[in-house]
Structure 1
Amino acid sequence: MRIALVDSGIGLLSTAAALRRIRPDADLILSMDPDYMPWGPRSVPEIVARALAGARAVLDEQPDAVVVACNTASVHALESLRAELEPRIPVIGTVPAVKPAADRGAPFAIWATPATTGSPYQRDLIDRFARGIAVTPVACPGLADAVERADPAAVAEAVDHAAAHTPADVSAVVLGCTHYDLVSDVITAALGEHVTLFTVADAVAAQALRRIGVSPQPDAPRTGGLRVYASGRPAQLPEAALTYRAGVLLTTEVAA
């Protein structure tokens, strides 16, 4: 079993780690795009082109599924990826956990990149799933970049900025960028333990398995391999990835 994940950078680590936990026998192929990251500020045609390039770069690996482990790429490029790859290769997108957060019936916030925060896509999610609930969109300038660089001071500054713009009455925050998952402990420390964080890595991993018709088997042999591509070139996992638990999990559980 081979599952490819596409993102501009190391935001895909949380979903890759979730896949490793539930199918340790699966080969994971990580396709990142350091030459063109971040994708968020780019035009929609550029985002589509980069996401397609990331997927095409791993097709020789014969993946059984492609996971778009990036909110921005899922917003803009999922349709194009599915048009090119499906039904031969299932393509799984990443959607912020607005619905489960709204199901609580209480005010919540959505932390996302500035581009996503103001997007029609996010407004549509709120209109569809959280009508009548107080939802506060919180832009997090610089947070994804700081996570990508594994810069603790910059992460703390960006998190503190977002926390200051999060209403005190919210008891839940939806993390609308996969990079943010990697610093969930920092976010919880800033917001307080009473605030529940909603992430989607586990749900996306489970959906990927469903799409290829297999079940979770967390007790399967730990034989899964790991391959990394950087803007189409075979590469190693970036050093910054190893500062996060998800990155360590992927490297320590790779087959010898």
Structure 2
Amino acid sequence: MSIGIFDSGIGGLTVFREISKEFPQADIYYLGDTARVPYGNKSKETVIRYSVEAANYLRSFGINALIIACNTASSYALDLLRANLDIPVIGVVEPGVETALKYTKNRKVGVIGTSATIRSNSYKSLLKKSGISVYQKACPLFVPLVEEGIVEGEIAELIVREYLDGLVEKGIDTLILGCTHYPLLKETIKKLYPHLKIVDSSQAITDFLHRENLYFEGTGKRKIYITDESENFERFKNMLVGNNIPLEKIELSRLCTL
């Protein structure tokens, strides 16, 4: 059995890595839409179209489950994909919220993400159903920071503080990393705010798959596709999941069917 994973670019590789560890026998196909990254500054309609195209491409491999490893796509396209696909479709929002509810003691939770994710209020809506006080912050510089490999040191710390000091002052005890790029800044965030419980969506998804009793047997095949050449993507792929997993560029026209 096989799993399809898609994201707008690098960030979803954190999800790919964790699922590969937890389900070593599964066949896993990853699509990074590097030609159209980021999704976070696109309209809802555009994000839905990109998501449907990515899902249709991965379906061509006969996948048994689809994981939307993109918070923006999860916020806007999850319901539509679930309604139109006959396989389990898992986003990053629900698992992240479940983990945050388990972590928080004072019921004050911070959410950071792209502008589109924060604007969608996807995390906030679910958290508020459980009576949680939610404080949100869009962090648009985090994605280019990660894409450039600046995940620690003085520059990274300055930008993290610029975005997060205000949230921490609200008294949050738990922080949801509402973008799959953000786990690459997790160590810097931990260093600056050691008291925070941090929700990493890549780990939350694997926990969710186990709780849903979704298990996958296959040959352990791994394949990664991108829609445009990207030195940063290849560098991070090698760092996160190794250089023995094949990377193939596909023409964007193979996705653009809508």
Same fold (TM over 0.5): yes
Aligned to 2:149: 150
Alignment-derived partner of residue 52 in structure 1: 52
What amino acid is the match of 2:178?
A: G
| 1:188 counterpart residue number | 190
Match of 2:253? Answer: none
State the distance in 2 between where 1:13 and 1:157 align.
25
Cα deviation for residue 47 of structure 1 reads: 0.2
Q: Shift of residue 10 of structure 1?
A: 1.4
The percent of aligned pairs where both chains have the same amino acid is: 27
Q: 1:170 aligns with which of 152, 169, 172?
A: 172
Quote how far apart the aligned CAs of 1:6 are. 0.8
The offset of 1:236, in angstroms, is 9.7
TM-score, structure 1 length as denominator?
0.80
Residues 224 and 213 (structure 1), Cα distance of their counterparts in 2 relative to 1, 3 Å cut: same
Q: CA distance change for structure 1 residues 172 and 50 in 2, over 3 Å: closer, same or farther?
A: same
- Residue 251 in 1 paired to residue 252 in 2? no
How far 1:253 moved relative to its partner? Answer: 7.4
- 1:236 and 1:205 map into 2 onto residues whose CA distance is 28
Task: Report the counterpart of residue 12 of structure 1 in structure 2.
Answer: 12
Aligned to 1:94: 92
Shift of 1:212: 7.7
Alignment partner, residue 111 of structure 2: 110
The reply to whether residue 239 of structure 1 matches residue 237 of structure 2 is no
Report the Cα distance in structure 2 between the residues aligned to 1:212 and 1:204, rounded to whole angstroms: 12
CA distance in 2, matches of 1:123, 1:143: 20
Separation in structure 2 between the aligned mates of residue 225 and residue 126 of structure 1, nearest angstrom: 37
TM-score (norm 2): 0.80
CA distance in 2, matches of 1:234, 1:143: 21
Aligned to 2:138: 139
What's the offset of the Cα at 1:213?
A: 4.2
Larger deviation, residues 147-156 vs 23-32: 147-156
Q: Which runs of 5+ in 1 are unaligned?
A: none
What residue number does 1:76 align with? Answer: 76
The 1:201–1:80 alpha-carbon spacing in structure 2 relative to 1, beyond 3 Å, is same
How far apart are the structure 1 equivalents of 2:211 and 2:175?
27
Q: Which residue of 2 aligns with 1:38?
A: 38
1:67-104 C-alpha deviation (Å, 9 max, x unpaired): 01111101111122223322xx2211111633443453
Q: Cα distance 1:213–1:166, how it changes in 2: closer, same or farther (>3 A)?
A: closer
User: CA separation in 2, counterparts of 1:176 and 1:50?
Assistant: 19
Equivalent-residue separation in structure 2 for 1:213 and 1:138 (angstroms): 33
Seen in structure 2, the aligned counterparts of structure 1 residues 25 and 100 have a Cα distance that, compared at 3 Å, is closer
Asked if residue 124 in structure 1 is aligned to residue 119 in structure 2, the reply is no
Task: Mark the runs of 5 or more structure 2 residues left unpaired by the alignment.
Answer: 247-258
Contact 2:175 2:198 in 1 (8 A): yes
Instruction: Give, in whole Å, the separation in 1 of the partners of 2:121 and 2:19.
Output: 30
Per-residue CA deviations over 1:37-67 (Å, capped at 9, x if unaligned) read 1111111110011111112222232212110
> How far 1:252 moved relative to its partner?
6.2
The answer on whether the counterparts of 1:147 and 1:155 sit within 8 Å (CA) in structure 2 is: no
